[in-house]
């Protein structure tokens, strides 16, 4: 049974996006990502999910960095302590920039499960196999191709009809 992460009297759930120094991250991924967890726990927060989101070139340089590592974290924290967490992040040289968003309580479970990689694909009907699903997909693709061909034929016939009705004077 899925846990309900939204119901807790110990604060709000926040999504934190941390832009990390890519040079320091490449040298020590565990240590650098641990800094984020450590800072949240120091602020008396609870980590719900934490993972690497992306590493990419920045649209413009930030504090001299042209690339950045995006670290996504969902955590629970009292709202009054968010300011001190943000201040600590600004003082840390490994963290280039942060963004904190309060998560709507009805979305907490879904977002945290997705961040943890727990989202499940729709289950096939009972008795159905992967081979059946692949066969169905091929049949759908063939049907789409036939429909496209018929549409092309109709368009060709209209062109012929239009050409035969026009006359030059």
Torsion of CA 85, 86, 88, 92, to 10 degrees: 130
93: nearest Cα among 16, 23, 15, 40: 23
pLDDT given at position 115: 87
Q: What is the pTM of this model?
A: 0.65
pLDDT given at position 162: 47
77 and 139 in a single domain? The answer is: no
140 and 85 in a single domain? The answer is: no
28 and 106 in a single domain? The answer is: yes
48 and 109 in a single domain? The answer is: yes
CATH code of the domain containing 96: 3.30.70.60
Q: Please write the tens of the pLDDT for every residue from 55-106.
A: 999 999 999 999 999 999 999 999 999 999 999 999 999 999 999 999 999 9
pLDDT given at position 3: 55
Domain of residue 146, residue span:
123-169
Residue 2 lies in a domain: no
Residue 81 lies in a domain: yes
Radius of gyration over every alpha carbon of the chain, rounded to an integer in angstroms = 27
Q: Please write the tens of the pLDDT for every residue from 103-145.
A: 999 999 889 888 888 765 555 455 555 555 556 666 666 666 6
Residue 133 lies in a domain: yes
pLDDT given at position 19: 96
Residue 6 lies in a domain: no
Domain count, the chain: 2
Residue 53 lies in a domain: yes
Mean pLDDT taken over the chain: 80
* Residue 160, beta-bridge partner list: none
Residue 5 lies in a domain: no
42 and 111 in a single domain? The answer is: yes
Residue 34 lies in a domain: yes
């Amino acid at each position: 049974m899925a846990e309900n992460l939204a119901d807790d009297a110990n604060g709000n759930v926040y999504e934190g996006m941390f832009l990390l120094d890519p040079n320091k991250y490449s040298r020590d991924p565990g240590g650098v990502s641990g800094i984020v967890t450590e800072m949240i726990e120091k602020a008396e927060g609870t980590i719900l999910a934490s993972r690497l989101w992306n590493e990419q070139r920045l649209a413009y340089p930030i504090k001299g960095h042209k690339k950045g590592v995006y670290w996504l974290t969902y955590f629970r924290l009292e709202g009054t302590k968010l300011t001190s967490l943000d201040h600590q992040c600004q003082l840390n040289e490994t963290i280039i920039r942060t963004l904190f968003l309060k998560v709507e309580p009805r979305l907490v479970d879904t977002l945290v499960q997705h961040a943890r990689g727990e989202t499940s694909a729709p289950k096939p009907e009972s008795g159905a196999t992967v081979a059946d699903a692949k066969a169905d997909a091929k049949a759908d693709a063939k049907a789409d191709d036939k429909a496209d061909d018929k549409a092309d034929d109709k368009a060709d016939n209209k062109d012929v009809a239009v050409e035969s009705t026009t006359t030059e004077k």
